[in-house]
């Protein structure tokens, strides 16, 4: 029986969770046994032969939860193939400098664990349910609201990643 692949993520308002689910679905279609979980629910990495870990980008960085998850589990993660992904609103435009900055959001975890692949995807911003602080930030940066996710691009990335992380 093949080892399982973990897709672990952090999310604030659900957009990154949806991206993680799409990645998990695509890996399953490729024949993998996949668990998709918030990083806070992952207690044991021993059943997993590979991992895909993601976070939304806030203020140019990953959320603290996935960063702490990678830090705490770096010894195990260094022994299996790992891919990282980030979801952010700034990447709705295909500007190379914006993409470089979005990829830089993963620098702190890439210094701990070297990924076989990284992905950056546009997210969703819908103002209902936001905290006061997040609403204030959204107004200050003049962020556009809407669903900018491209799940086709997410699925294509997951297919490409499968060949790099699937247990042999």
Query: Cβ distance 103 to 120 under 8 Å?
Result: yes
Class of the domain covering 4-165: alpha beta
* Residue bearing the bigger pLDDT, 20 or 107: 20
pLDDT, tens digit (0-9, with 9 covering 90-100), for 104-155: 788 899 999 999 999 888 866 565 666 666 666 656 655 666 566 778 889 9
Each domain of the chain, given as residue ranges in start order, spans 4-165
Confidence of residue 1 (pLDDT cuts 50, 70, 90): very low
pLDDT in tens, 54-80: 999 877 889 999 999 999 999 999 999
The Cα-based distances of 29 to 20, 62, 136, 158 in angstroms read: 14, 28, 41, 10
What is the distance between the alpha carbons of residues 76 and 18, in angstroms, rounded to a whole number?
A: 26
Overall pTM surpassing 0.75 (yes/no): yes
Q: How confident is the model at residue 12 (pLDDT cuts 50, 70, 90)?
A: confident
What are the tens digits of pLDDT across the range 75-94?
999 999 999 999 987 666 67
Radius of gyration of the chain (CA): 15
**Rounded Cα distance, 27 and 12, in Å:** 24
């Amino acid at each position: 029986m093949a080892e399982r692949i973990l897709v672990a993520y952090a999310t604030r308002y659900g957009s990154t969770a949806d991206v993680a689910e799409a990645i998990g679905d695509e890996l399953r279609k490729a024949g993998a046994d996949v668990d998709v979980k918030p990083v806070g629910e992952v207690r044991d990495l021993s059943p997993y032969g590979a991992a895909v870990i993601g976070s939304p980008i806030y203020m140019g960085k990953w959320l603290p939860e996935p960063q702490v998850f990678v830090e705490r589990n770096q010894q195990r993660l260094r022994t299996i193939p790992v891919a990282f992904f980030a979801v952010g609103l700034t990447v709705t435009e295909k500007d190379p400098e914006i993409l470089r900055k979005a990829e830089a959001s993963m620098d702190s975890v890439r210094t701990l664990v070297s990924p076989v692949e990284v992905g950056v995807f546009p997210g969703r911003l819908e103002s209902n349910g936001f905290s006061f602080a997040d609403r204030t930030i959204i107004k200050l940066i003049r962020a556009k609201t809407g669903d900018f996710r491209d799940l086709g691009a997410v699925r294509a990335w997951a297919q490409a990643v499968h060949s790099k992380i699937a247990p042999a």
